[in-house]
């Protein structure tokens, strides 16, 4: 696995019962997965020679992030190393412009969007969204704003994303000198995620569609399944995710992040081709976790049952704050809720950094939500009783 973050750590954990020998390419020995994997290579994934040396002797290469250069992955494939997901699929998670163009081509509903060249072009894009004949149409400052701007590569957890209200605010995204994608700001009810896993021989499974709640651009809470979601809309989201996985030839886990709009539609926001934060609930709440099924998929083993074990499962991320000693909070959290599942990533605590998550499950959603939020808050230090 390329990348030593918490996704690699939890994927390694899922492979242990199967006797999978796991080899890791990590940036530093302190990375989350490097602390627990026995076979670790320290190196730069952006260096092709390093990648080739690492891949030698591996049966298959997979990832805990999407940042490995596409041309390097093609070189590995030319060397005869299976790469899953392959570069032809992974580029759709690496490049938002490529992703939007491909989803348009296969008829997947997305927010209105266009690659823009400068702030004036952003103003023109904003004006294009105004109703025909609307006063001021033509790109004057403020017409059709706000607009969402994204760098086409490298953004995550709110980084590389700006919501701009006028032309002046649209200047910052262009300073990096990389292409910028403009999207309409969708009037959505909530954010959803459809998680699916697909294997090389075409078997695929879909997890229940979940609600993903964001705070400051970072996932805070995931509720599985999404409460009060129309069954027809849930099936449409699952079918859409399965169709995207097939059309893009995704091997492994695919997370399709969605907007549920006020007029009853679902629109694709982002794609992630790896285990995903919106699927962490499955570690304790599903018969087969996203990590276990990702391992099975990349090794072309039969996939496991994705159905939930309980009516409700809630995941809440534990973010770093001003309280670095989270382990002393275990006594309270475990005594208060013996069913609580705590997953910490071995990271140094920094304000706002994802350092772990908690899972709770049960029959009553309000109770499950309260338990998860209390535990995450107590571990962070924002709750003290």
Q: How many CB atoms lie within 10 A of CB 112?
A: 14
User: Domain 6-83 carries which CATH code?
Assistant: 3.40.50.20
Mark 341-368 as b/e (b = at least 16 C-beta within 10 Å): bbbbbebebeeeebbbbbbbbbeeeeeb
Question: Cis link prior to 85 (omega < 30° from 0)?
Answer: yes
Fold classification of 188-380 is D-amino Acid Aminotransferase; Chain A, domain 1 (3.30.470)
User: Domain 112-184 carries which CATH code?
Assistant: 3.30.1490.20
Structure confidence at residue 137 (pLDDT): 42
In 3D space, the residue among 304, 305, 313, 327 whose CA is nearest the CA of residue 362 turns out to be: 313
Q: How far apart are CA 258 and CA 267, in angstroms?
A: 5
**CA atoms within 13 A of residue 264's CA, in its CB half-sphere:** 4
CATH 3.30.470.20 positions along the chain are 188-380
- Name the stretches of the chain with pLDDT < 50: 136-142
pTM of the model: 0.94
Q: Are strands 39-42 and 23-26 parallel, antiparallel or unpaired?
A: parallel
Residues 6+ apart with CB under 8 A from 146: 163, 164, 165, 185
Across the beta sheet with 161-164, the strand order is: 113-116, 180-184, 147-151, 161-164
Structure confidence at residue 132 (pLDDT): 67
CB 255 within 8 A of CB 209: no
As given in the structure block, the two tokens for residue 1 are 């696995």
Structure confidence at residue 140 (pLDDT): 45
CATH 3.40.50.20 positions along the chain are 6-83
CATH 3.30.1490.20 positions along the chain are 112-184
CB 250 within 8 A of CB 179: no
């Amino acid at each position: 696995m390329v990348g030593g973050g918490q996704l690699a750590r939890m994927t390694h954990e899922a492979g242990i019962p199967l006797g999978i020998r796991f080899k890791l390419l990590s940036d530093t020995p302190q990375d989350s997965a490097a602390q627990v994997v026995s076979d670790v290579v320290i190196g730069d994934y952006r260096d092709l020679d390093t990648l080739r040396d690492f891949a030698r002797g591996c049966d298959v290469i997979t990832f805990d992030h999407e940042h490995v250069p596409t041309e390097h992955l093609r070189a590995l494939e030319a060397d005869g190393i299976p790469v899953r997901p392959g570069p032809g699929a992974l580029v759709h998670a690496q490049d938002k412009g490529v992703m939007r163009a491909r989803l348009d081509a296969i008829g997947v509903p997305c927010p209105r969007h266009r690659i823009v060249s400068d702030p004036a072009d952003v103003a023109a894009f904003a004006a294009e969204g105004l109703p025909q004949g609307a006063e001021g149409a033509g790109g004057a400052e403020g017409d059709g704003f706000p607009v969402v701007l994204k760098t086409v590569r490298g953004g995550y957890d709110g980084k590389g994303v700006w919501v701009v209200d006028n032309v002046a605010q649209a200047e910052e995204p262009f300073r990096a000198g990389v292409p910028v994608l403009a999207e309409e700001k969708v009037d959505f009810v909530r954010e959803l995620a459809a998680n699916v896993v697909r294997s090389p021989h075409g078997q695929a499974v879909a997890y229940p569609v979940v609600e993903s709640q964001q705070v400051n651009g970072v996932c805070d809470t995931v509720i599985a399944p999404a409460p009060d979601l129309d069954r027809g809309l849930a099936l449409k989201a699952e079918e859409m995710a399965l169709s995207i996985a097939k059309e893009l030839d995704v091997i492994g886990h695919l997370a399709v992040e969605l907007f549920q709009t006020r007029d009853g539609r679902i629109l694709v926001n982002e794609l992630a081709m790896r285990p995903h934060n919106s699927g962490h609930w499955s570690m304790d709440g599903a018969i087969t976790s996203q990590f276990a099924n990702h391992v099975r998929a990349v090794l072309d083993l039969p996939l496991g049952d994705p159905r939930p074990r309980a009516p409700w499962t809630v995941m809440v991320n534990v973010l770093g704050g001003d309280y670095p000693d989270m382990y002393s909070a275990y006594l309270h959290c475990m005594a208060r809720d013996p069913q609580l599942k705590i997953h910490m990533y071995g990271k140094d605590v920094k304000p706002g950094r994802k350092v772990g998550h908690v899972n709770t499950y049960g029959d009553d959603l309000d109770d499950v939500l309260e338990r998860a939020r209390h535990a995450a808050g107590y571990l962070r230090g924002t709750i003290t009783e």
